[in-house]
Amino acid sequence: MSLSHAFTENPINFSDSLSELKSLVKTKIEEARKGSDFETIETDIREAFAETERAALTEVLQRYDVDSPKVEFKGEIYRSATRCEKTYMSSAGPIRVERTLYRTRNDSPCICPLELRSGIIENKWTPKAARIALYTVIQLTPYDAARLFKELGAMQPSKSALDRLPKNLGENWEENKEAFEEDIRQNFSIPAEFTTVGVSLDGVLIPMQGGVVLPGDSRYEEASCGTVTYYNEKGDPLVIRRYGCMPEHKKVSLKSFLKKEVEYALSKQPNLILVKVADGARDNWTFLDNELPKGESVLDFYHASEHLKNAFDIAHGIKSVESAVEFSKYRSILRHDEKGINKVISHLQRLVKKNPRKKLLNTELTYFKNNKLRCQYALLAKAALPIGSGIVEATCKTLVSQRLKRSGMCWKENGGQAILTFRGLYLSNLFDCGWGMLANKYCGDVVPESNVVKFPKNAKKHVSG
């Protein structure tokens, strides 16, 4: 059974629209001379230009259509099934074109040469429109993005369309994730001025759908963030690769990504100094120490300072003068003295002896003993190596919290991961690269029947050597 739909000619072609635009501009100039409201004139002119742009894009997009009895796609012959209209969302707004659909047999899915040749995204968006929409929705909620587009004029996608787009693109990305990530690595050159590569990971709680009490309840789970940072000899961070994953047991996906990034960096420039920075979480260091190549291990100085402050608060009392004085003194010693960690441990041992009943004080002492080799801050700073995990802490805020922890939000795995994936590319200055690879997956080479090379029956195909 063949499908058919009536086709109505576009009421305004590009030439007519261009003439109307010129006429409208002349009219608005006269209105301006009479003192008409400029905002109204500006709005009318903007819409007129958008209408002309839509007419031009309609005529251009129509040229990507193939109207032939047969076409070849991926080595198969497809036959014409129907010719019908469809509306696509362009960067100037909706445009409606006529196109032909093809299929191999009656019960097979149809292909649309117009969409494949022009790179239409998700059967709806022109590439530029999809890119703009995705770029906007990784910054704003679909609701806010829809309101922004309405205010700007021209392209005005709905909230639901903006909600679906990153999810669909995210599924496509996940299907090709390994290849995409490898391409990004291979396209990244490591200049000689890079002397150090730092790797960090951390987590941040986000609201997830599917509570225990009721299906609609939310619960908080830990999303994970990781960074790979390249520094120069002065210790200045020059390039930062940011990555985020939805809640997952043992942060498996994040760790896999970080391991591949570090191994690639060291394979390209073996002289890079590897510095691993994290808080004191045991699982972080099990990964950093056992699964990554050898390098400098650093307990984040800010977290170390927090534990030091907590120790003095336990010994002397919260907000006491003694606690504040000792914390200021030993924080400086820990940071600037090459034997600072030994002095801190010795002083805490004395406090434990004086306060045997304060068990939590001994816990803090154990914390510093366990991390003794990771607290060589003076030596690391002297070598212009990083001593803090501020970059990954900031990534937790900018990549995850600012977008996924707004009022009333509650996430599912696929939707949240799509936002983290594309937002991570954006924050790593890799959005252009990532979009180029993803958009290319929507393109296809469709050959009209007249261009298909035909061989006579029983004829041998000769391949020249």
- The pLDDT-based confidence of 464 (bands split at 50, 70, 90) is very low
Q: What pLDDT, on the 0 to 100 scale, is given for residue 321?
A: 97
CA torsion 249-253-257-262 (nearest 10°) is 20
Per DSSP, 10 falls in state -
Kindly tell me if the per-residue pLDDT of 25 is higher than 90: yes
Alpha carbons 21 and 450: distance in angstroms, whole number: 40
- The pLDDT-based confidence of 457 (bands split at 50, 70, 90) is very low
Average pLDDT over the chain reads 92
Q: Are strands 196-209 and 218-231 parallel, antiparallel or unpaired?
A: antiparallel
The beta-carbon contacts of 71-75 under 8 Å, at least 24 apart in sequence, are 71/102, 71/113, 71/446, 71/447, 71/448, 71/449, 71/452, 72/446, 72/447, 72/449, 72/452, 73/102, 73/111, 73/113, 73/116, 73/444, 73/445, 73/446, 73/447, 74/444
- The pLDDT-based confidence of 4 (bands split at 50, 70, 90) is very low
Element (H, E) at 179: helix 177-186
Complete domains list, the chain, with CATH? 14-172+435-449 (no CATH), 179-300+388-411 (3.30.420), 302-378 (no CATH)
**Average pLDDT in the 328-352 region?**
97
- The pLDDT-based confidence of 203 (bands split at 50, 70, 90) is very high
- The pLDDT-based confidence of 2 (bands split at 50, 70, 90) is very low
Report pTM.
Answer: 0.89
Q: What pLDDT, on the 0 to 100 scale, is given for residue 459?
A: 43
Tokens, residue 30:
């006269």
CA distances from 31 to 23, 45, 243, 282 (A): 13, 12, 53, 72
Kindly tell me if the per-residue pLDDT of 460 is higher than 50: no
Q: What are phi and psi of 243, to 5 degrees?
A: -145, 140
Q: What pLDDT, on the 0 to 100 scale, is given for residue 395?
A: 97
Kindly tell me if the per-residue pLDDT of 384 is higher than 70: yes
Alpha carbons 137 and 167: distance in angstroms, whole number: 11
- The pLDDT-based confidence of 455 (bands split at 50, 70, 90) is very low
Q: What pLDDT, on the 0 to 100 scale, is given for residue 89?
A: 98
Residue 271: beta bridge partners? none
Q: What pLDDT, on the 0 to 100 scale, is given for residue 327?
A: 97
Q: What pLDDT, on the 0 to 100 scale, is given for residue 214?
A: 56
Of 406, 419, 411, whose CA–CA distance to 221 is shortest?
411
Which tens digits make up the pLDDT trace of 133-170? 999 999 999 999 999 999 998 899 999 999 999 999 99
Alpha carbons 293 and 335: distance in angstroms, whole number: 26
Q: What pLDDT, on the 0 to 100 scale, is given for residue 5?
A: 37
